[in-house]
Structure 1
Amino acid sequence: MPGLSLSDVTIVTVCYKTDALIADMIATVPDPSPIILVDNGKTNNFPTLPPHRDIKIVALEENQGFGRGCNAGAAAAQTPWILFLNPDARLANGAIEALLEAISRHPSAVAFNPQISNADGSQYFKRRSWLLPRNRYMQKGWPRKDTIVPILSGAALFVSKQNFDAVNGFDPNIFLYHEDDDLSLRLAQLGQLVFVSDARVTHDAGHSSGRSAEIARLKAYHMAQSRIYTGVKHQRPLPRLSTLIQALALILSPTVLLSARRRAKASGFLEGAVKFRQK
């Protein structure tokens, strides 16, 4: 697709109590690229948005989860490409340009991940998934060059809007966790998923919605629910039983005695596993 520019890429970010993070993310986005901020449950005030930027806020009355939030943002996008970017992610200089160049290098690709590093500089690479058999797992660490991969991370997911719409976006039944895995498998039916080695993003994982015990419990609850739902959907072995066993192991672990947050996470995961009902 020749002739693409920065203005052909919309940044879509789902925000849940992320006012402390969003300004730093926006500062790394080139001026020509429009930005859509999805205010999930009206939990953000966005007090420091730069007035000169092309920024649209999509307000959702309730917290609808990551996938539905992304879908709402994508529906408002007017560009041929979308970069779903977490509020705690930061683009390196030239990251979007590198992703655009990758489109012409990989004409069979439908979606991409940049090279993602953690806040401490260590490598982050989504090499495996609960939804993949072990024989499809990749080696640890970033590939040295552009590489076809079986799964993509939603922290910085670059996708053609046409193909995103063709697979009906993120599954609205998934509130949180494994939604990017599920989307990846459906996109892979249309074409290749590609890791782009020269596009770089930093992701301060786990800080996009805070680190309180309450949020840890909420996330763990939906992690268990999503694990079972996606496991059933993609025919993984014994998704209900394996999730319940994992939940019991968390509850019985001595580490839960060390912090209220770990106790909340363990109890939330167990509750999610026990209360799952097929949607």
Structure 2
Amino acid sequence: MLAIGKPGYALAAREAVTSFLRNTDFEIYIVTDRFSAPMLPPSPRIHLDLLDAARQEYRADGFLAKFDALAWCLGQSSAEIIVQVDADTILLRPLAAAEVSTALGEQRMAMVEQTGIAGSGMTPGDFQEHYSKRSLAFIDGSAAAPPAISFRYFNSGVVLAFRDELQLLLEWVAARRLLLPADHSVGAHMIADQDYFQVWANSVVPDRCASLSWQWNHCGHWDTGFPRRDALIAHFSNFCNGPEFETVLAMHNLLAEGPDFLAEGPAGPLLDNAATGQPADLAFIIITYNSSKIIGYCLDALPDQHEIIVVDNASTDETLDHVTHEGVTTIRNKNNEGFAAAANQGAAAASAKYLCFLNPDCLVTSAAVEAALSTLRRKPDAMIVPDYVDWHGGVTAGRQPGYSRLKLTADLLDNNGMAKWARRLRRLPFYHDHKWSWPLAAALFVRRETFHAIGGFDESYFCYMEDVAVGFEMARRGLEIVELDHVLPHLGQRGADIPTSVRISLIDNARLKFAELHFGRAFAATLRGLRWVLHRRLGIRDALRRKWWRALEGR
């Protein structure tokens, strides 16, 4: 399995690997990167090879790395038969080695034939034309295309193969790649791993590849009724675009359905995370508001042996109905008290020595938790934050430089339709105040005594900027914000289901509050005047646009 690049691949791979741990006794080999590896489930049956994803120059490199993963697997394993699956697959029932061998039969490799694309008019003839004019023409223009009667448009999301056949395939791929353009593109079309598998199976060794039944690679892009209960492997393919967040949730929910859908097979041992009966060292405090889509996934990702407190701010989407995990303490507020007040409620209810304030759209790893606790034991008066990676792979530092007047002004401009002017301000000296820093509190670790000693979060902030304010207070007291050498996925504004306009207003109000408390009423009044002007400008612009559209419609 290959899981590199955007966090979606790692989170999908976590679900895929969990399904194979549950339903097989196979050894599992995964090529991944340092950001993705901590997100995978722990098991002695998992073997990892870390790849430097940053060295990939072209889009196709991430897909062609599958061949590097297969070569590494062959070098590590002595198994005679290899099952290669994409990271966005789920094994739906127990699978034994004998069933894989039977599926291969007398052939050396086997894949499922893709017969169409849902919602399109693609025919087998269209697939063959695509194969001949793009895949075959690029990879080996001298090879003959098969006759229509024997052509099969194989999908490489699931591949069964004997190791000697894979070795021959890898040698052929390596030889072809030496002769081909490195970008692997034909116009707007990308040549990826599947194209090589198709040329191998259709034009190089057409008599050595079998067609598997649909159950081996059941995908909603070409099968009806997805996911069907009589399938073996469900494939959540997104046509080389990587898993979407909704895809990962669908995979997770499919696994969570348990024995009603997924059989409990001969799973090998996961690492023992059972509770020990000892008092928890750490309490996770999660504040929710209309977080029903994400809270269950967040809780499932938490390591065991820790206290968990969910404080709900009067959600209207039945968020707490999704908090079904044993041992979770829930606090249901009758009104939306805001993040700061709810977080302080959770801290007051906690009994653990250390606290982690966790956004419901941020996922923690066991390694990050252990590192944070280790740091807090050495620096008990510090606050600890990891870095964060968003869904698109962008990394944001957990420890942020302090706010200046310039920074507050730029953020207000950026939030209200003046991004160009905001960018100009960000290039100016003294944009950041480097004399202090604040923790981006999607996952903030702190000793409970330290948190209470600094007064907790300032409840005059309803939502946003309370982490900036707590950083300012830490600096005032000479206390340290420590950046952890771990990166956690932060799924970005999925924690609370609120309209964008409301979110912008909350952020603006919080920045104005910070400006007044730390830079004085005069500066805050100036920013309020600026916001009024910007709102008037946006209102006039929108009115002119509506008038223009009405004029066009009247023609």
> What is the TM-score with the length of structure 2 in the denominator?
0.40
Aligned runs of 1:1-279 on 2, under 5 Å?
7-43=280-316, 44-52=318-326, 54-105=327-378, 107=379, 109-125=381-397, 127-130=400-403, 135=430, 137=432, 150-188=437-475, 189-197=477-485, 199-212=486-499, 216-235=500-519, 238-249=523-534, 251-253=536-538, 257=542
Inter-CA distance 6–91: structure 2 relative to 1 (3 Å threshold): farther
- One-letter amino acid matched to 1:127: Q
Once the two structures are superposed, what CA deviation does each residue of 1:79-126 show, in whole Å capped at 9, x if it has no partner? 111100101111134111111122245x26421111211122210125
Other-structure match for 1:271: none
Measured in 2, the distance between the counterparts of 1:245 and 1:86 equals 31
Larger radius of gyration: 2
Partner Cα separation in structure 1 for residue 541 and residue 348 of structure 2: 41
Deviation per CA, 1:107-153: give whole Å up to 9, x if none.
264211112111222101253453578748389xxxxxxxx971111
- Secondary structure (helix, strand or coil) at the match of 2:439 reads coil
> What's the offset of the Cα at 1:7?
2.5
- Would you say the 8 A contact 1:149–1:194 is kept in 2? no
Within 2, Cα distance between the matches of 1:203 and 1:256?
Answer: 34
- Give distance in 1, aligned partners of 2:457 and 2:332: 18
Cα distance in structure 2, aligned partners of 1:112 and 1:8 = 15
* C-alpha distance 256-84 of structure 1, shift in aligned 2 (>3 A): farther
Alignment check: 8 A CA contact 1:115 1:196 kept: yes
Q: State the number of aligned residues.
A: 240
> What is the CA–CA distance in structure 1 between the aligned matches of 2:439 and 2:405, rounded to whole Å?
12
Could you tell me which runs of 5 or more consecutive residues in structure 1 were left unpaired when the two chains were aligned.
140-147, 258-279
Structure number with the bigger relative contact order (C-alpha 8 A, sep ≥ 6) is: 1
Superposition RMSD on alpha carbons, in Å? Answer: 3.0
CA displacement at 1:196 relative to structure 2: 0.7
Q: Structure 1's 114 and 157: CA in aligned 2 closer, same or farther, altered over 3 A?
A: same
Runs of 4+ with >6 A deviation: none
Structure 2: distance between partners of 1:230 and 1:159? 22
User: 2:380 touches 2:447 (CA, 8 Å); kept in 1?
Assistant: no
Instruction: Give me the whole-angstrom Cα distance separating, in 2, the residues matched to 1:222 and 1:153.
Output: 17
Identity, in percent, stands at 21
Pairwise CA distance, 1:33: 1.1
- Structure 2: tracts of 5 or more residues without a match: 1-277, 407-428, 543-555
Give yes or no for contact 2:403–2:432 (8 Å, CA) kept in 1. no
Q: TM-score, normalised by structure 1?
A: 0.76
Change (3 A) 1:85 1:256: farther
User: Residue 290 of structure 2: SS of its match in structure 1?
Assistant: coil
Q: Where does residue 242 of structure 2 map in the other structure?
A: none
* One-letter identity of the residue aligned with 1:176: C
CA distance in 1, matches of 2:432, 2:383: 19
CA contact (8 A) 1:42 1:61 kept: no
Q: Within 1, Cα distance between the matches of 2:279 and 2:364?
A: 13
Compared CA separation, residues 103 and 205, structure 1 to 2 (3 A): same
State the alpha-carbon separation in 1 of the partners of residues 310 and 431 from structure 2: 34
3-state DSSP of counterpart to 2:527: helix
Question: Secondary structure at 2:481's aligned position in 1?
Answer: strand
Return the alpha-carbon distance in structure 2 between the equivalents of residues 163 and 108 of structure 1. 8
Q: Structure 1 residues 51, 232: CA separation in 2 closer, same or farther (over 3 Å shift)?
A: closer
Instruction: Give the letter for the 1:181 counterpart.
Output: V
Structure-2 separation of matches of 1:20 and 1:256: 35
Deviations 1:6-29 (A, max 9, x none): 931111011000011001111111
Map Cα deviations across residues 224-248 of structure 1 (whole Å, 9 max, x no partner).
3222221121126712212431453
